[in-house]
Structure 1
Amino acid sequence: MRFPIRRAGVSAIALAIALSAPALAQSAPQSAAQPTAPAGAAAASPAGEAAAAKAEALRPAIESFTLDNGLQVVVLPDHRAPIATQMIWYKVGSADEPKGVSGIAHFLEHLMFKGTKTHAQGEFSAAVAAIGGEENAFTSYDYTAYYQQVPVEALKEMMGFEADRMENLVLTDEVVLPERDVILEERRMRIDNEPGAQLSEAVDAALFQNHPYGTPVIGWRNEMEKLSRQDAIAFYDRFYTPNNATLLIAGDVTLDQVKAYAEETFGKVPRRADPGPRVRPQEPEPLAARTVTLTDARVTQPSVQTTWLVPSDNDGQPGESEALDLLADILGGGTTSRLYRALVVDQGIAAGTGAYYQGTALDDGQFMTYGTPRGDATLDQVEKAVNAEVERIARDGVTEAELEAAKNRVRKALIYQRDNQTSMARRYGAALSTGRTIEDVEAWPQRIEAVTVAEVDAAAKKYLQPKRSVTGYLLPAGAESSAEAKAPAGSPEAAGAVGPADGAPVPGDTRS
């Protein structure tokens, strides 16, 4: 990543909200003995469905075509303003790296901003800046993407720049070695100096004992230090080829216009390689619950997170991913969720708590809960309270009212998401890079609507089992166990303050 870090890969509901709507305000709801939907949620459902249907009817059709070199091009028309977003997604991420060169996918992302045979280093970025545009790039376990948002009249120029660096990147030791120092410094800042990130890294390594998702996206330091120009060139030559990429153009464009531009730019890039199928080691069925504890003097607020191995949208049985998405929302998706109401409102022991589902993955997904103590409560008390809610939802299931309220939030999130070109392109790009199709994305709202209480209950019982989990404890210096860890004296949490709604631990997937 070259610019501010963006989270990705969380639940489809959370992703839609995070990319296109303000963070939830942390206003305390009224306490209730039994979890219930917000007042009026059920009554609002028909109106919500009507609004979603209206938004769907007004949205221009999404179209796709494939160039002769194998590049799939997806066009997402949005004629409200004369701007366009270009995103190129390569179907390769850190989980596709050869053994021993962890971090090479992220390293190459940095190197793609160097010069080419046609354009000097910095020329592409300068052209974007000169017209007031935006650009960024990010690497995940499963894909690497680059984007620009510019006035629509500059789109063809941007497509030319992007096509050029797909084919003509120039890498020398003079370029590569200083940039290796940059990614090592990035790791120091984001991982080595952040106990929470170190814990998440350790939790992922424990959760994924065989799958490469257990290796951090940014890489292990001892391997990053050895990354070479030859490693970068080999990775570039194998994976950065048109037949291993998807181009998304969103904005004030037409299919014919994009097709003409694509033929003139990307259409001239030859198919350089065949990366082959994405065959990875798979995770065996978990047999035992695991724990990871990190104690560090830099920890200012203790926390506990539990992560379960669950299916993703791509590798689960029909309906499981949708059920897990809604389960995460009901359990810990906001101020009306069970965890918030139980730990923050009723018991007053947590400064922050929640749950989310990370299901946009080629292989297995993750389901997480987290909590931080408040006032005189200990981390042990918070953990027991979180576990009690998890056990209760797995044992007793959810209610029709809770499920309907969660579906209503999905409907609204999708409407908000369509107001943002970049978030729409991200939604399709991530899906197409992880084994899904345009039709799958289009059908997602209908699949969510079809989820039943029985399916949510079945997912909770099947997957929220201790043997499928890793629990991570983040403790301050001096606390030998979670029973001794409290909010630090003098902190807002010690005084009983409630933290922001988005205070979840950073996922182990650094998604740079």
Structure 2
Amino acid sequence: MHWRLPSRRVWLGIIVSFVALPSIAAADPDLVLANGLRVVVQEDHRTPDAVLQVWYRVGSLDEENGKTGLSHLVEHLMFTGTAALPDDSFAREIAAAGGRVNAFTGYHYTAYSVQLPATRIASALSLEADRMRNLLISPAQFARAKDAVRAERKWRIDESIQALAREKLMAAAFAGTPFAHPVIGWQSDIDLIAIDDARAWYSRWYTPDGAVLVVTGDVSSSGIVDEARRIFGGIPAGNMARSGAPVFPEFHTDRISMSGQSAYVVMVYPVPGIDKATPTLRHTMKVIARLLDETDRAGADGRAVMSVHAWSDLDRPGAGIFVIDGTAEPPAVAADVEKEIMRRVEMLKREAIPARRLERIEAELVADEQRSQSLFARARRIGLEATAGLPLRKADGDTARSAEELNAAIREATMRYLLENRRAVAISDRM
């Protein structure tokens, strides 16, 4: 029996109905306190939980050569305690309230997230306000944090030839710009960062006028605003001025060769970043990624000899990226992987994709969109846009298109952005 999937317009109608339930506030408060703290609240009474996130407008783009990784290191240090709550008391207090913590650093932000029962939101606000200006950084805590960052870098990057290839490729493609540096920092810089560097970074950037407070969940908007004024309002502004999103940096079409244990190819193309990418372009690039990595080429025994994957990152200010990588097992080599990737890219420029295949991909993306409606994901979207200095999108709108329209958009995007003379490539082949 063959089941026909609903069209994208039907799926979009399902999503719009899901998002527009009466239990979600029709208008979300978005205001700035007297000390510069921006407060954004989105009510959602379908769950007893709440997510509180504090986003600071500082990330790896703000770091200087020789001091890369400072933002990420301070992220770790934010859990080392204050006079009122020493050591790991912050995490223990949240756990005792039935919640969990998370933190993450990017190119233009450092963010801290707490999810817990909505009835405990006031205590979480007080904890965040305390560490916004009262962080203690002792030599012992600093040493432990550096050790944790070194260990994280080791297992995330240094022990993976693929991660090293991507890191080297980004450094070459965006040479001479802050985008060339990994968010986690270069190992040599991490080793040389001093405790006074971390203290100065925290003092400079962790101020209410450099932060965005986002709350989503089973809360009262007016209640959160009142609590934010009471709890954060007494923290003085730091007169922290930051320029807008950076202009698109120069992109170098470099080619890097490495030696490794297997054949691996990764290529990166420059695309618009968070400040330029429209909802329609975002969706089109997601479809293109699915089309490129949808199928592995397998040998006669069913074992995959070549695997290609693609993804986009359009949440970086100034410069987004579209990445395609692939691996191969013997007898294939890196040259075979690159040839296969380029065959797939060129095919998208010439051949129309069957409507049923597009329909299936659209259904998968709709499912992803539904999953992205979690409290955490919605708070994260707000924080990303707010720290980039952008107006908040209430919704992407109906980007539903026919197969013919979507095929035209795919051809236009691939011919505009996925150009062979506008890519940087790193190749790792067997020694």
SS in structure 2 of the partner of residue 170 of structure 1: coil
Q: C-alpha distance in 2, partners of 1:386/1:348?
A: 19
The structure 2 residue matched to 1:60, chosen from 24, 31, 35, is 24
SS in structure 1 of the partner of residue 192 of structure 2: coil
The structure 2 residue matched to 1:327, chosen from 282, 288, 295, is 288
- The Cα offsets for residues 156-186 of structure 1, whole Å up to 9 and x where unpaired, read as 1111010111111122434323422332233
Q: Structure 1 99/380 Cα, relative in aligned 2: closer, same or farther at 3 Å? A: closer
- The Cα offsets for residues 337-364 of structure 1, whole Å up to 9 and x where unpaired, read as 3xx16x3599986453221111111121
Identical positions, percent: 28
Say yes or no: does 1:385 pair with 2:340. Answer: yes
Note the 1:17-28 alignment, pairs <5 A: none
- Per the alignment, residue 228 of structure 2 pairs with 262
* AA in 2 matched with 1:430: L
* AA in 2 matched with 1:45: R
Q: C-alpha distance in 2, partners of 1:401/1:222?
A: 51
Unaligned ranges ≥5, structure 1: 1-37, 479-512
SS in structure 1 of the partner of residue 20 of structure 2: helix
- Per the alignment, residue 409 of structure 1 pairs with 364
- The Cα offsets for residues 355-405 of structure 1, whole Å up to 9 and x where unpaired, read as 111111112111111222256434432321221111121344656655555
* AA in 1 matched with 2:285: L
- Per the alignment, residue 312 of structure 1 pairs with 273
SS in structure 2 of the partner of residue 352 of structure 1: strand
Query: What is the Cα-based RMSD across aligned positions, in Å?
Result: 2.8
Q: TM-score, normalised by structure 2?
A: 0.89
- Indicate if the aligned counterparts of 1:102 and 1:220 stay in contact, CA closer than 8 A: yes
- Per the alignment, residue 172 of structure 2 pairs with 206
Q: C-alpha distance in 2, partners of 1:468/1:387?
A: 13
Q: Structure 1 413/193 Cα, relative in aligned 2: closer, same or farther at 3 Å? A: closer
- Per the alignment, residue 420 of structure 2 pairs with 466
- The Cα offsets for residues 23-68 of structure 1, whole Å up to 9 and x where unpaired, read as xxxxxxxxxxxxxxx9734x43343133123213215135122222
Say yes or no: does 1:227 pair with 2:188. Answer: no
Q: C-alpha distance in 1, partners of 2:247/2:103?
A: 27
Note the 1:9-408 alignment, pairs <5 A: 40-41=4-5, 43-58=6-21, 60-61=24-25, 63-64=28-29, 65-278=31-244, 280=246, 282-284=248-250, 286=252, 288=253, 290-296=254-260, 299=261, 301-316=262-277, 319-332=280-293, 337=294, 340=295, 343-344=297-298, 350-374=305-329, 376-396=331-351, 398=353, 403-408=358-363
- Indicate if the aligned counterparts of 1:74 and 1:249 stay in contact, CA closer than 8 A: yes
* Displacement of 1:321: 4.0
- Indicate if the aligned counterparts of 2:265 and 2:426 stay in contact, CA closer than 8 A: yes
Q: TM-score, normalised by structure 1?
A: 0.76
* Displacement of 1:70: 1.6
- The Cα offsets for residues 196-219 of structure 1, whole Å up to 9 and x where unpaired, read as 221111111112123211101111
Q: Structure 1 49/182 Cα, relative in aligned 2: closer, same or farther at 3 Å? A: closer
Q: C-alpha distance in 1, partners of 2:392/2:244?
A: 20
- Indicate if the aligned counterparts of 1:207 and 1:309 stay in contact, CA closer than 8 A: no
* AA in 1 matched with 2:24: P
| The 10-residue stretch of structure 1 (397-406 or 138-147) with the greater mean CA deviation from structure 2 | 397-406
* Displacement of 1:225: 1.4
| The 10-residue stretch of structure 1 (185-194 or 263-272) with the greater mean CA deviation from structure 2 | 185-194
Q: C-alpha distance in 2, partners of 1:422/1:166?
A: 21
Q: C-alpha distance in 2, partners of 1:464/1:122?
A: 47
* AA in 2 matched with 1:327: I
* AA in 1 matched with 2:310: A
| The 10-residue stretch of structure 1 (154-163 or 366-375) with the greater mean CA deviation from structure 2 | 366-375
* Displacement of 1:422: 1.3
SS in structure 2 of the partner of residue 92 of structure 1: coil
Q: Structure 1 110/316 Cα, relative in aligned 2: closer, same or farther at 3 Å? A: same
Q: C-alpha distance in 1, partners of 2:280/2:176?
A: 26
- Per the alignment, residue 411 of structure 2 pairs with 457
- The Cα offsets for residues 434-458 of structure 1, whole Å up to 9 and x where unpaired, read as 343222xx33243565975433322
- Per the alignment, residue 430 of structure 1 pairs with 384
Q: C-alpha distance in 1, partners of 2:304/2:342?
A: 14
- The Cα offsets for residues 211-264 of structure 1, whole Å up to 9 and x where unpaired, read as 211101111122211111221122222221112211111221111221122122
- The Cα offsets for residues 139-165 of structure 1, whole Å up to 9 and x where unpaired, read as 111211111111222211111010111
Q: How many residues are aligned here?
A: 424
Q: Structure 1 388/158 Cα, relative in aligned 2: closer, same or farther at 3 Å? A: same
Q: C-alpha distance in 2, partners of 1:453/1:200?
A: 30
Q: Which has the higher contact order (CA 8 A, sep 6+)?
A: 1
* AA in 2 matched with 1:308: Y
- Indicate if the aligned counterparts of 2:174 and 2:251 stay in contact, CA closer than 8 A: no
Unaligned ranges ≥5, structure 2: none
SS in structure 1 of the partner of residue 53 of structure 2: strand
| The 10-residue stretch of structure 1 (179-188 or 226-235) with the greater mean CA deviation from structure 2 | 179-188
Q: Structure 1 446/210 Cα, relative in aligned 2: closer, same or farther at 3 Å? A: farther
Q: C-alpha distance in 1, partners of 2:3/2:256?
A: 40
- Indicate if the aligned counterparts of 2:80 and 2:87 stay in contact, CA closer than 8 A: yes
Q: Structure 1 222/285 Cα, relative in aligned 2: closer, same or farther at 3 Å? A: closer
- The Cα offsets for residues 82-103 of structure 1, whole Å up to 9 and x where unpaired, read as 2221111112111111232111
- Indicate if the aligned counterparts of 1:239 and 1:273 stay in contact, CA closer than 8 A: no
Q: Structure 1 398/364 Cα, relative in aligned 2: closer, same or farther at 3 Å? A: farther
